[in-house]
Structure 1
Amino acid sequence: MSLRKNQKLTNIVSIFIILFISVFNFMDRALLPPNYNLIMLEFGKTEPEVGLISTLFMITAAICTVIFGFLNDRVNRKWLLFGGSIYYSISSLFVGYAQSYEQLLLFKILTGVGIGVVVPVAYSIITDMFKATARSRVFSVFGVALTLGGALGTIISGNYGEAGNWRTPFILIGIINIVAAVSVIFLNNPKRGAKEEILESKLQEGLEYSYKIKMNDLKYIYTRKSNFFLIINFIDNIPGGIIAAWAITWLVEERGVPKDVASTLFLIASAFSLVGSIVGGIIGDRWFKKDKRARVGISMFAMIFEVPFLIAFVLIQFNFTGTPTMGEVLGNSMFLISIIMVGLFFFIDSFIGPNWYSTIMDVNLPEHRGTMLSVANLVDAVGAGIGPWIGGLLYLWLGSYQLAFILASVINIAGFILWIPMFRNIRKDIQDVENILKKRVEEPEIAK
């Protein structure tokens, strides 16, 4: 087998391993919300208290992502990923055996610590496997896999929840996650900057990109304009966090849809995001070749044009009484239109993900990407993380999930405004990175 074919096979195996870990990681994240009502009943807690579990879990994961993102830029990525994966898998098992609200909260926080390793390491490795002009597509495929993981987790959890059992999914997924973690042993760790066009020829000669992040680099990273606005634009995740956490509960409690039917059909609608992520990634890569602002522009488009579909989803009227069957639910045309509306919302919203991740990589040096991505994910996770909690508070305040969803959708407008400065500065920041790499090609550090 030729060296090139062997390298290609090695990359395929490595990508599969990363996807394997990440998919089950996202399955684990999705197990709790479908059974909020069972947990409230078992432990005697309110919506905000149960929503707080998801909030603290995601915020903990995001904070740990910052710590491990910095380490990712300094140490061996493969073994960092292995250790974190083993840790969160075992913590997930403990969640299934929680005997009190306090134990459940503690074990979910501990799981978040382990999960904080996966995101910066996975994206860092994937970035070094593909050229800049293909990254949006790669991240879109990665995003599709993660969405499928989340969808499967929700379906599995919802089906077990119908039988009054919210614990078993955590135990099953925890065991599978241990197997996924062990597979990291076979992962190939590519050279940093291996697919940067400016560096590629040098690295193919057997040289190494030996630059590593330093503490005094942090000021440079966070004062760059594009990075600043990539970080603070976290509020665009709040509406999605609210919908993901409370939509199924709303369909069940206010519209009379059986939980298993609501979980299944809502997730079928969520599948629109799989297509949207691929479409958004393809468009982002294609237009990026012509205009370096393209990925940011596509994200801005999505922020505005998804809002009407979300509002339509919650305003369309339908109600069920008794225990309707799947056939009876599907026979309600207004319900089907509502599900299509939320499907289109997910389709457009998923344009943002692959282009956001690619933009982070575009405007940062190879040794800064893990750190920058981890901080951006931290703040982004705050938006998604406080969504369930804010949704619970809005419900208690307004007395209606429907009104809470409508009020939350307005937040997208503020998110759009925060993309504008990024659109103005993105070209300059990308050019700055390219200029630095051109200078480094001839410096002795590149050859160490």
Structure 2
Amino acid sequence: MPAATQASARIPAARTAGLALFLLTALNLLNFIDRYILPGVQPLVQREFGVNDAKMGLLTSAFFFTYMLAAPLTGWLGDRFRRKPLIIISALLWSVATLYTAKVHSYETLLLRHALVGVGEATFSIFAPSLLADFYPETARNRVLSIFYLTIPIGGALGYLTGGIVGDHYGWRAPFYVAALPGVLIAIAFFFLKEPKQGSADRLQATENRATLRGLRQNPSFWTATLGLAAWTFAVGALSTFLPTFFHRFAGMSVGQAGTVAGAVTVVDGLVGTAVGGWLAQRWMRRNHRALYLVSGWGSLLSIPFVALVLFGPLKLLIPAAFAAEFFLFLGNGPLNAAIVNSVAAPIRATAISLNLFLIHALGDASSPHLVGLLSDRFNLRVGLSITVVALFISGIILFSGARFAMPLEEEK
């Protein structure tokens, strides 16, 4: 094919890949806005239903319980059927479940609503990275997934802010509409996107342990990244659930103020930390193919002293320590997810991502919010949240151990 023809063929492909990244990132943003509205309105929900911290933590645990149970089935579907219609269905499912919040007038109904949203979000969270991996090769996935996962801090911050501010003025149900209606519109727009052939962007050799379910059991690069992320998720799930409540309870902030401060910390650090972590890993990979693991491991370990300072330090250092803690927590946001996607080949990628999601939530935030709530009710919220320090230490050790299993990428050749 002549060079001019090749170039003209690449332009539509690049445009399609860019459009896919934009639409999937927008859906993921709405996904996380919805997820973090509840922590932003948590004191208002507790006041209406008269429930303790353990029951509030159980709401998040129920979400992740259904989230992780849905993962294995949806991963199997993603390796056998086109991902585009599956993504559309999942986005519509969690959007409709979010709209259902207006009908919630008891704690038990809210628990059911939150569990249903988990099914839709789990499906989307598996198919989206798998589809992006078919638009971009291994060396570009850290950059692409760093952009995609910027939605975690931005969506979390907007969820906190929307929940706290809108909830203060219009009641805690009103903020949930923010994520629901746009999600339906973007899902419809996604219908017109052209889906690439599975595995079309892969450059690494599809060895047995990367391309078969039997080999996956003996894939240390996948398992160390997954277990390291699980320990990180245990800590972040608990911290994100109770951070606005912690500010409200120990810093004397109103519900709106606590949501605003938690949102500001999360969005600034999420943007800066994720961008710096993705940039650092991309540059470091040119000299060291272990960079995706190392950046993530350092992020977990360096966050520990600042998390401890948030929980037990003087009040005047609370906000600066929170900024420092979340900056380091978000360093591995893109690199670690890129390491997981790169650790497997296209034939089993959706299944592997579903297994990863099942494990990081089963071992992570499916239990940590409820456990923190139980410890808070028995002692106080400071003691409850202190278990996150142990989880972050475990995360760092696992990721440093797993770095030696990382596969060399094209940029080193």
TM-based fold match above 0.5: yes
Please identify runs of 4+ aligned residues in structure 1 that moved more than 6 A.
Answer: none
Cα deviation code 1:350-392 (max 9, x no counterpart): 1222111111122211112111112112221231232221221
Question: Given residue 401 of structure 2, which amino acid in structure 1 is its aligned partner?
Answer: P
Cα deviation code 1:213-252 (max 9, x no counterpart): 99xx323213322222233331222222221111211211
Is the CA contact (8 Å cut-off) linking 1:89 and 1:174 kept in structure 2? yes
**Alignment partner of 2:345 out of 342, 357, 365:** 365
Cα deviation code 1:288-337 (max 9, x no counterpart): 2322212111112112111011112223323xxxxxxxxxxxxxxx2xx4
Measured in 1, the distance between the counterparts of 2:126 and 2:93 equals 16
| Structure 1 pair 86–225 and aligned structure 2 pair: CA distance change class (3 A) | same
- 1:13-32 superposed matches below 5 A: 13-32=19-38
Shift, 1:166, TM fit:
0.9
Partner of 2:144: 138
Is the CA contact (8 Å cut-off) linking 1:133 and 1:289 kept in structure 2? no
Partner of 1:231: 226
Measured in 1, the distance between the counterparts of 2:204 and 2:220 equals 23
**Alignment partner of 1:386 out of 367, 370, 388:** 367
- 1:200-239 superposed matches below 5 A: 217-233=212-228, 234-239=230-235
Shift, 1:164, TM fit:
6.0
Shift, 1:93, TM fit:
1.0
**Alignment partner of 2:383 out of 389, 403, 428:** 403
Measured in 1, the distance between the counterparts of 2:373 and 2:233 equals 16
Three-state SS of the structure 2 residue aligned to 1:188 is: coil
Three-state SS of the structure 2 residue aligned to 1:99 is: coil
Cα deviation code 1:98-136 (max 9, x no counterpart): 121111111211111111111111101111222222211
Aligned-residue CA RMSD in angstroms?
2.3
Shift, 1:405, TM fit:
2.6
Question: Given residue 356 of structure 2, which amino acid in structure 1 is its aligned partner?
Answer: A
Question: Given residue 295 of structure 1, which amino acid in structure 2 is its aligned partner?
Answer: L
Three-state SS of the structure 2 residue aligned to 1:30 is: helix
Question: Given residue 108 of structure 2, which amino acid in structure 1 is its aligned partner?
Answer: E
Partner of 2:120: 114
**Alignment partner of 1:283 out of 257, 270, 280:** 280
Unmatched runs of 5 consecutive residues or more in structure 1: 200-208, 319-333, 435-448
Unmatched runs of 5 consecutive residues or more in structure 2: 1-6
Shift, 1:50, TM fit:
1.7
Cα deviation code 1:391-426 (max 9, x no counterpart): 21121122x222323343122222223224312322
Is the CA contact (8 Å cut-off) linking 1:313 and 1:338 kept in structure 2? yes
**Alignment partner of 2:261 out of 248, 265, 268:** 265
**Alignment partner of 1:147 out of 146, 153, 157:** 153
Number of equivalenced pairs: 399
Measured in 2, the distance between the counterparts of 1:42 and 1:100 equals 9
| Structure 1 pair 390–139 and aligned structure 2 pair: CA distance change class (3 A) | same
CA radius of gyration, larger in? 1
Partner of 2:199: 193
Identity of matched residues, %: 25
Measured in 1, the distance between the counterparts of 2:204 and 2:305 equals 43
Measured in 2, the distance between the counterparts of 1:355 and 1:70 equals 25
Pair 1:296-2:293 in alignment:
yes
Partner of 1:163: 169
- 1:65-84 superposed matches below 5 A: 65-84=71-90
Measured in 1, the distance between the counterparts of 2:391 and 2:401 equals 18
Partner of 1:424: 404
Measured in 1, the distance between the counterparts of 2:133 and 2:348 equals 12
Partner of 1:440: none
Per the normalisation by structure 1, the TM-score is 0.83
Measured in 1, the distance between the counterparts of 2:178 and 2:342 equals 38
Measured in 2, the distance between the counterparts of 1:173 and 1:423 equals 37
Three-state SS of the structure 1 residue aligned to 2:344 is: coil
